[in-house]
Structure 1
Amino acid sequence: MTNFKKSFQITPASMDDASEITALVIDCDIADFGQPDFVLEDLLDILGPLDLDKDTWVARSGERIIGFAFVEKTGEGALMSFGYVHPSYVGRGVGTELVERIEERAAHYAADHPEQGWVLCNAIPASNESARTIMAEREYAFKRLYSRMIIELTEEPVIRPPSAGIEIRPFQQGMEEAVFQAYRESFKDTNRFYETSFEEWMEGKSGVHYERNLWFTAWDGNELAGFIISKNFQDHVYIDLLGVRRAWRKQGAASALLLHVFKKAYELGIRNIRLSVDASSLTGANRLYEQLGMRAVFQQSLYQKDLKINK
């Protein structure tokens, strides 16, 4: 058997690699989805909070970057990872070794805090057979399917007001704690929720692309009913979180919040809006997005495994 590991080297990523890694991810997107879904700003957003020496890897064949992976802590006992292998190098062991590096790093996270139960998640393109094979070989279990949805705005959106009594307001300084508590309530029964402190949560929502003029809130008198948090990548707006507290659901707050983001993006000259949604969302979020004109362009599968801690 050919030892493919001798044909490439694994090293930590560096900021100097950012442009080439971006080109790699774009090539992977085109192969898996038929179109790119990644820009340099996305990568800089990813790399910024990470310990590059410990949490990132690039695979090189000679001077060329042919693979990239990273792992990040997303909550207490929860790790998330992504990996990419250039289509020309699939089947040569690159993906397998990147996953091995991810799991080695994940084991260190778990060993540092053995009092918690740890899980490691890996998101892959749903149609990528090679990636699915690696997940099976490494004993990951399929958890759920996510759809990436987009809309290309061709005209200025018309705001549909929510039910009487609910008012949409721009996010203002001083609303942070109320939004955090609304996040905890509206997401606590979903797979996207994890326990974290207010300070840690806000730090995660304070990157350069989290423009507050694309955040909106829904109020019923003095009660915060819902919120939307978005990121501005200049060529597109990405909706990061949309939450409505249970008592105010099905009253038009979610669609009104979305339309306010659509309208603001249009005013800024941005026509492309994107988000990811659980394809089996209990709240029917994907149907809401479709009603507002968004369409699914591709899907990603989430796989998960429990980390065993060696004592």
Structure 2
Amino acid sequence: MSSSPPETRPATPADVDAVADVIRVFDIELVGRALLSAADIRVLWTSADLPTGSWLVERKGRLDAVAWVVLGDACESFVASRPGRRDLEPFLLDLAEQRVREAGGLQLRLDAFASDDLRTELVTARGYEPVRYFYEMRMELNGPPPAPEWPEGIRPAAFRPEDARVFFDAIDEAFANEWGFRSLPFDEWRRVRVDESDTSLYFIAWDGDEVAGFARCEERGADGFVGMLGVRPSWRKRGIGEALLRHAFGQFHARGKRAAALGVDASNPSGATRLYERVGMHVASEDVVYEKDLT
């Protein structure tokens, strides 16, 4: 006799911390550290319809597994489970594929760490193909990092709440052609990235009254994490990105952080991976984006 499928319920915004904890232990089990914060999940959920496109599996009052989908031209799914409950992942992926088909989606994407043999076997057996690779890059902060060298006319400054609009606009311009980038409505972005976040590690490189570049960083345990680093097209190839990065490293070290980390598209057309290697970072883990044709 076959067992009945697990009971699920949709996620709500109030579940974000419990979901972040499942993802934290999932990441630690596979790569040794957490790679996604509660703030990141809040941003991802702004593009998801949680009542119809998310699923939580609970047991004895504890969240064991989570999945959600983001619909669009290429739909995206996210699936995570606690160690010992990875048997739930095929069931959750079934739900995600079913929801995307119901919505008329043609493709579905799902990430897998390169070291995650279980996830890799699951997606390849279902006909998913790798379409993109992302790196987590790290650098130990064993001493004070080199001071940044700012190009002439460029002035670094801490982010202020009144800078929110120009900071947001600079992100949209800098990342407009990045693979997989989804812009949020400004009010949603300001809520999750300014009103509900610690902005003390957000930095702006000013050229007069124009934003030339920016860094959105945060503390993650013993790490300083660069969540987003960008330079607007008209200011590229001048060393602003490297200066912002070194500025962030200095701030991390001043706060007692033991390492700096970030994520990057391995095929980034701006050559970001080379920049990060030049400042001393190395690839610590690899994430593969798989895609399946649902037609």
| TM-score normalised to structure 2 length | 0.80
Separation in 2, partners of 1:44, 1:278: 20
Task: State the partner residue of 1:159.
Answer: 147
2:64 and 2:35 map into 1 onto residues whose CA distance is 17
Structure 1 contact 157–259 (Cα < 8 Å) conserved: yes
C-alpha spacing 1:207/1:120, structure 2 compared with 1 (3 Å):
farther
Q: Using the alignment, how far apart are the partners of 2:137 and 2:219 within structure 1?
A: 16
Does residue 179 (structure 1) correspond to residue 167 (structure 2)? The answer is: yes
Aligned with residue 70 of structure 1, among 68, 74, 88: 68
1:189 matches 2:177 = yes
Ranges in structure 1 where 5+ consecutive residues have no aligned partner: 112-116
- The percentage of counterpart residues that share the same residue type is 29
Write the deviation string for residues 65-104 of structure 1: whole angstroms up to 9, x where unpaired. Answer: 543323356xx656533212445454x4x21111122234
The change in CA–CA distance for 1:22 and 1:181 in structure 2 (over 3 A counts) is closer
Amino acid corresponding to residue 276 of structure 1 in structure 2: G
Tell me how far apart the structure 1 counterparts of residues 236 and 39 of structure 2 sit (CA, whole Å): 35
C-alpha separation in 1, matches of 2:77 and 2:181 = 17
Q: What TM-score, normalized by structure 1, do the two folds share?
A: 0.77
Q: How does 1:11-160 map to 2 (within 5 A)?
A: 11-12=9-10, 18=17, 24-33=22-31, 35-37=32-34, 42-43=37-38, 46=41, 54-60=52-58, 66-72=64-70, 77=73, 79-90=75-86, 92=87, 94-107=88-101, 110=103, 120-160=108-148
Contact 1:9 1:61 in 2 (8 A): no
2-side partners of 1:242 and 1:44: how far apart?
17
Following superposition, the deviation at residue 204 of structure 1 comes to: 4.0
TM-align CA RMSD: 3.3
Contact 1:22 1:38 in 2 (8 A): no
Shift of 1:30: 4.4
Displacement of 1:271 in angstroms is: 3.0
Q: CA deviation digits over 1:140-197, x for unaligned, max 9?
A: 3322111112223222233222322222222223322222222222211211423443
Change (3 A) 1:62 1:160: closer
Question: Quick check: 1:242 aligned with 2:242?
Answer: no
* Structure 1 residue 287: Cα displacement: 1.9
SS in 2 for 1:174: helix
* C-alpha deviation, 1:305, in angstroms: 4.2
Aligned equivalent of 1:273: 260
SS class of match (2:34): coil
Q: Which amino acid in 1 is paired with 2:167? A: V
Secondary structure in structure 1 of the residue aligned to 2:130 = strand
Q: Deviations over 1:80-134 (max 9, x none)?
A: 33212445454x4x211111222344456x46xxxxx775432221232332233
Tell whether the 8 Å contact from 1:28 to 1:86 is kept in structure 2 after alignment.
yes
Give 1:221 deviation, angstroms: 2.6
